[in-house]
């Protein structure tokens, strides 16, 4: 049996709800073999981030070369990249090995509100990593911060910011509407040809830790399986919506708990 392989490049969440742990759970749930490159170790739980230990850029390079020289990686997802030198190491490795289907989740702030990307690294992310991406998946605050703009107040603002992000050089942009309000959560896909909307009922739960990681990883998984971009986004949206809807079945921690990655096994 040949199984598609996806690679996550991200930080470790010691509580298991986000980051590398969420990515690998998502890959498994979507029938993809997951490999990982760790950029940072976080001491965190459902209530917040207590400490961060950033992995040296040289060791990030060693991990990337070890994986990409051996495994037939069909999609790469990046999450927490922490610092400019780590972003430089990632870009250099991607240039050396040219794996397809780069999905960039521009992680800047944890669900708890803790910063996960240094301010000076935002420009490096925008200028060097985003232009290589097949898809970037910012939420509303991340889209605004990447552009130095105010958070979008409505669909016209989202459309304007989506076009501006697309102009940074990536192939497509998915602006996530989870931070918006209303009965439905709508994500907006910009691919240079038009706008496609993906809507789902908004789930009333505080257990949303790792939703952004999970969505981006699910998209990467379906791209690794050969899906077209729009179909991959649709299937990933359906998966994460169901994982959020099932989150309250779990009782993990005292804060913002994780989504239920393996709801289908209950």
| Catalytic residue list contains 212 | yes
CB-based contact 58:27 (threshold 8 Å)? no
DSSP codes, 221-265: HHHHTT--HHHHHHHHHHHHHHHHHTGGG----SSSPBP-TTGGG
| Catalytic residue list contains 211 | yes
pLDDT digits (tens, 9 = 90+) for 63-105: 999 999 999 999 999 999 999 999 999 999 999 999 999 999 9
pLDDT of 39 strictly over 80: yes
The position carrying tokens 């922490």 is 82
| Catalytic residue list contains 162 | no
> What pLDDT band is residue 40 in, cutting at 50, 70 and 90?
very high
Beta strands at 173-175 and 102-104: parallel, antiparallel or unpaired: unpaired
pLDDT at position 109 is: 74
| Catalytic residue list contains 2 | no
| Catalytic residue list contains 208 | yes
With pLDDT > 70 as the criterion, what percentage of the chain qualifies?
Answer: 96
d(CA 20, CA 23): 5
46, 213, 237, 241: the catalytic one is: 213
Give me the sign of the Cα torsion angle 131, 137, 139, 140: positive
Rounded mean pLDDT of 35-46?
Answer: 96
pLDDT of 178 strictly over 70: no
Q: Where do the domains of the chain lie, and which CATH numbers do they carry? A: 5-260 (3.40.1190.20)
DSSP codes, 61-86: HHHHHHHHTTS-EEEEEE---BSHHH
| Catalytic residue list contains 255 | no
Task: Tell me the pTM.
Answer: 0.95
pLDDT digits (tens, 9 = 90+) for 17-28: 999 999 999 999
């Amino acid at each position: 049996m040949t199984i598609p392989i996806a690679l996550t490049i991200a930080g470790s969440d010691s509580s298991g709800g986000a980051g590398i742990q969420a990515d690998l759970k998502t890959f498994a749930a979507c029938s993809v073999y997951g490999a990982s490159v760790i950029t940072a170790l976080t001491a965190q739980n459902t209530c917040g981030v207590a400490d961060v230990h950033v992995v040296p850029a040289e060791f990030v390079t060693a991990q990337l070369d070890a994986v990409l020289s051996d495994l037939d990686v069909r999609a790469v997802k990046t999450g927490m990249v922490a610092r400019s030198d780590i972003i430089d190491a990632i870009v250099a490795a991607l240039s050396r090995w040219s794996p397809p289907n780069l999905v960039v989740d521009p992680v800047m702030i944890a669900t708890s509100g803790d910063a996960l990307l240094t301010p000076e690294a935002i420009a490096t992310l925008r200028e060097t990593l985003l232009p290589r991406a097949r898809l970037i998946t910012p939420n509303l605050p991340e889209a605004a911060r990447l552009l130095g703009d105010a958070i979008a107040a409505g669909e016209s603002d989202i459309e304007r910011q989506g076009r501006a992000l697309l102009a940074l050089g990536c192939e497509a942009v998915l602006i996530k509407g989870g931070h918006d309000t209303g009965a439905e959560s709508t994500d907006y896909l910009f691919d240079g040809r038009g706008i496609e909307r993906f809507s789902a009922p908004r789930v009333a739960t505080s257990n949303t830790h790792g939703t952004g990681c999970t969505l981006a990883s699910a998209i990467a998984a379906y791209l690794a399986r050969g899906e077209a971009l729009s179909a991959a986004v649709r299937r990933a949206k359906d998966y994460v919506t169901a994982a959020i809807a099932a989150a309250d079945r779990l009782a993990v921690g005292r804060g913002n708990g994780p989504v239920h990655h393996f709801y289908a096994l209950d």
